[in-house]
Amino acid sequence: MAQLTYSGGSVEIDDQGFLVNLEDWTEEVARAMAAREGIEQLDEEMMEVIRFMRSYYMKFKAFPILNYVCKNVDQPRNCVSDEFINPEKAWKIAGLPKLAGVHFISTDGQHYIMEPPT
C-alpha cells in the first residue's frame, strides 16, 4: 500500500490509486487524488459530479449510469466524460473502492463506455 500526501496529512491508497478507507475521503483528499490523476484543478462542476457519485455509491453500493449522474447534477449529458475523460478517474477521486467487473474502454480516447463483464 502507498500513501497519498496532501496539505492536511496523508491517506492510504492501493496499488491502483484507489482510497483504501472510504471514510478517509475529504474534498482536500479529492484534490490530491485529482492531481495524482493528472487533473490540476477540480472546479465546482467537477465537485458536483464527485459528490453525486459518492452519495449514489453510499446509497446503492454500485456505479451509477453516467447519464444519470449528469442529469442529477444539471450538467450536459456527457459531463463525466467531458470533465474527467475516463469515468474511472472520477470514481477514484470520489474516494470510492475499485468495483469488481467495472472497467471502462474507449475507442477514440475521449469517450468511454463501461465494458461488459466477460
Note the pLDDT tens digit of each residue in 32-82: 999 999 999 999 999 999 999 999 999 999 888 888 999 999 999 888 888
Residue with cell 451509477: 64
Of 62 and 100, the one with more pLDDT: 62
Measured CA to CA, the distance from residue 96 to residue 88 in angstroms comes to 10
The cell for 75 is 450538467
Tally of domains in the chain = 1
The parent domain of residue 86 ranges over 2-114
Percentage, residues of the chain above pLDDT 90: 64
